Structure formats: C-alpha cells, structure tokens
Amino acid sequence: GRLGCTHEAIRCEDVCRNWVETPNHVAVGVNAARHSQPLAGAISVDGSPDCGSLRGCKSCSSVSGCAWCLQTRRCVTDEPWICQGEDDHVSSPDGPLQDRPGKARCPTAAELEAQRQARSERERAASTRCPWKAAGSPPPGPPPPSPESDDEGRRLLDEARMRARQRVVRASLDAVEHL
C-alpha cells in the first residue's frame, strides 16, 4: 500500500525494508525520516537516532549512534567527550567496543540496588545531623525581614534590573552600529 506524507507518497515496503528490532523492542528504520509519524521517538527528522527520547542505559547504548552518560543519566549522541570522560560514557551496554568512545558498561541490577541503599543511608545520616529536616520544620536562621528592609530590597532589585536593561540596549545599539 501507499502512505501519504505532506511532501511525498511512499510505499510501505520502502519504509519497512530497513527496520531493525532493538533490544528495547522499538522498531527503527533508516527510511523512517520520510514517514509522516516518528517511529516510537527513536528517529529524528534527519534520519539519525533521536537519542534524547531513549530512557535507560541498556535501551540507549543498544542503539547505534547513542550513548548513555552514567553521571547525568542521559542518552546522548555517541561522540567523544560528550559525557564526563570516557569512564562515564557507555557506548555499548556490555562494555567498551574498539570503535566506540565509551569505556564504561551499564550497571547491573545488583549495582543499582547497592547505589540506592547507599543513597538512602546517606539521607538517613544527614537527617540525624540536621534534626529540622526530619521534623519538616525550617532550619534555624535569621528572623524574617522587616517590611522596611523588604521595601529596600525591592528598590535595589528594581535598580539592578534597570541597569541590566540599559546594558542590553547599549549592546544592541553597538551591534547595529557595527553592521
């Protein structure tokens, strides 16, 4: 059959011929950019993988052209130095590949659980050091500002905003003069 797009009519066979099944069971096609609907958010308009739409280390790093950054927990384009170093960069879920920049691997379920437990323990330790956190009350500190100091703060903030606007206008005028 034929599918209608805003710019051209294409045949299903042309689109489906290049689909592959990824580990997260999302169909990804080389010709998907010509299709009127994006395929499960995995292909961008130019035909490259839409890495930002993928969630999770394994599903991200299993797609050619995508990598998972462990520290920021984001799926990004698989390029050198896009993460916080090669030990933070997962190009392949099972570990480094010779032709890809990442040297890390996806954490196992046991490693993720150990990290969760360590975070919980740090939170418990912090709440014992800061009793107001556990009680839900605000931390001790200076008293709330008086109405007079509040008015003075607003006046100073308004003056700072005015100076910032003036700098922007001057910079814009300078840019126009240089054209």
Q: How far is Cα 58 from Cα 66, in angstroms, rounded to an integer? A: 11
What is the per-residue pLDDT for 136? 62
Q: Which residues contact 69 (CB under 8 A, 6 or more apart)?
A: 75, 76, 82, 83, 84, 88, 89, 90
Q: What is the pLDDT of residue 48?
A: 72
Pairing of strands 66-69, 2-4: unpaired
5 close to 33: Cβ distance less than 8 angstroms: no
* pLDDT confidence of residue 90: 93
What letter does residue 67 receive in the DSSP assignment?
E
What per-residue confidence (pLDDT) applies to 131?
63
**Angle of CA points 65, 55, 3, to nearest 5°:** 70
Report the pLDDT value the prediction gives residue 34, as an integer from 0 to 100: 35
- Say what the pLDDT of residue 101 is: 85
pLDDT at 133: 59
pLDDT, position 29: 44
- Kindly state the tokens that stand for 64: 């050619």
Which residues of the chain carry a pLDDT beneath 50? Answer: 1-3, 5, 21-41
